[in-house]
Structure 1
């Protein structure tokens, strides 16, 4: 059974860190600039949301 990450602040922090890493790797991908920027923004938004959830 999968645990709810909202109950574990460490898991939220790890997921936010993973999304930040994915955001940076999206910038270096071999795709168009618009795709790289969109992916970066999507991952950073998820990371910020997870960090806000951790604080709350």
Structure 2
């Protein structure tokens, strides 16, 4: 029972969500919408992905610091 499951750690969850937002950003570029709308959606998802990656990195740093 001492195993750490990565699927339940906050850093992994944030990284997975960031990957999903990057995929949605790419999909937004090819949507059947105006250029303005596609760019707005793309930027929104890229910004969200960057925020989630930063959160995952911070969580990972804290967990490594707590273990040391």
User: 1:13: which partner in 2?
Assistant: 15
Number of residue pairs the alignment of both structures matches: 50
Deviations 1:21-45 (A, max 9, x none): 0000000000000000000000000
Structure 1 runs of 4+ with >4 Å offset: none
- Unpaired stretches in structure 2, ≥5 consecutive residues: 1-8, 59-68
User: In the alignment, is residue 49 of structure 1 matched against residue 51 of structure 2?
Assistant: yes
User: 2:33: which partner in 1?
Assistant: 31
Deviation of 1:49 (Å): 0.2
**Superposition CA RMSD, Å:** 0.9
Q: Which structure: larger Rg?
A: 2
Q: TM-score, length-normalised on structure 2?
A: 0.70
Deviations 1:2-55 (A, max 9, x none): xxxxx5211111100000000000000000000000000000000000001111
